[in-house]
Amino acid sequence: MARHAVTFSRRALLAGAMLAVPAARGARAETGRITLIVPFAAGGPTDIVARLAADGMARHLGRAVIVENVAGAGGATGTLRAARSRPDGTTMVLGQMATHALTPILNPQAGYDPLADFVPIGLIANAPMVIAARKGVPAASLREFRDFVAGSGNRLSFGHAGLGATSQVACELFNQGTGAAPVSIAYRGTAPALNDLAAGQIDFACDQLTSIAPLIRSGHIQGVALMARERSPVLPDLPSAAEQGFPDLSVEVWNGLLFPRGTPDRVVAEVHAALTATLDDPGLVRRFEELGASVPMSAANTPAAFGALIRSENARWRPVLERLTR
């Protein structure tokens, strides 16, 4: 019964974000549909962000934008497929902190270069991570939860979307401060991991506020801390890690669109214009805010700025990941 309730709430969250053939024409359109590869499982936070953006972009482009979920290897499987696709504007990928800053560092065999193999289009949204536990965990604060994990040795388990996924790295960042070694369980996405968390099959998980908030509000899982400096209006009763005395436990995930290397500039410009027009919709901005995500200012959301962010994030996370994997 618990599994059924969780699945229903996730379907409700996705309602209205599923894609349809566009009804209106915006920027000049090429022919044929665009496939948007989401390198994580359907129903997860990255998938939700992608579908909301794709729906609006389809209307502005006058072309269908079809989401294809290609999960596996912490996002590397789908991202590699996108990198190897023809650079003709018919395939783009939802890139985020995991696929373009974490996984390539943790897994040199991922098969792609996050900088050289892609052409940035623009950011869609950012969202902070959340640490959550199964119901019944004896902890009413982040400090109490840290002490609980620290005293449990390797008897606890946490779920994530694979090596290099933000859900893994965020939890490993937390684990580093406990001195414990919880069992790491990889799933094909955070959606199945959260289902198991709600069912009590694993002890804790870390995921974006975008998808985890409904499960916390419904009482299926227990929120521990928002991995940010301030609380979010989406979960106003959930204290941030910083206010609980852990300012270094701050992880915000960015999500954006990229084409494979070699895609013509005119195509990048056309799709970027459609993305900008989509994110200028006040209704969509409110929807993202309701999910706990923030949309970048359109004037600053250029392909060049997104590329600069990817480079800076690679520089930021490399020493962190090297410490985590020693």
* Residue 200 CB neighbours (<10 A): 13
Residues 171, 94: one domain? no
The string of pLDDT tens digits covering residues 14-58 is 444 443 333 333 333 356 899 999 999 898 888 999 999 999 999
Residues 6, 77: one domain? yes
The string of pLDDT tens digits covering residues 218-270 is 999 999 999 999 999 999 999 999 999 999 999 999 999 999 999 999 999 99
Residues 113, 137: one domain? no
Q: What is the mean pLDDT of residues 210-217?
A: 92
For residue 16, the model assigns a pLDDT of 41
209 in a domain, yes or no? yes
Supply the CATH number for residue 139's domain: 3.40.190.10
For residue 193, the model assigns a pLDDT of 95
pLDDT at 70 over 90: yes
247 in a domain, yes or no? no
Using alpha carbons, select from 67, 70, 55, 66 the residue that is nearest to residue 24. Answer: 55
Contact 225, 234 (CB under 8 A): no
Residues 103, 132: one domain? no
CA angle, residues 148, 151, 155, in degrees to nearest 5 = 90
For residue 30, the model assigns a pLDDT of 53
The string of pLDDT tens digits covering residues 86-102 is 999 999 999 999 999 99
Number of domains in the chain: 2
Domain limits for position 12: 2-126+254-324
Q: How far from the centroid of its chain's Cα atoms is residue 27's Cα?
A: 28
- What is the overall mean pLDDT for the chain? 89
Q: Which residues pair with 221 in a beta bridge?
A: 134
Q: β-strand 91-96 against 252-260: which pairing, if any?
A: antiparallel
For residue 323, the model assigns a pLDDT of 74
Residue 127 CA to residue 278 CA, distance in Å, equals: 18
239 in a domain, yes or no? no
pLDDT at 9 over 90: no
Residues 138, 189: one domain? yes
242 in a domain, yes or no? no
Supply the CATH number for residue 315's domain: 3.40.190.150
Contact 5, 218 (CB under 8 A): yes
The string of pLDDT tens digits covering residues 154-201 is 999 999 988 888 999 999 999 999 999 999 999 988 889 999 999 999
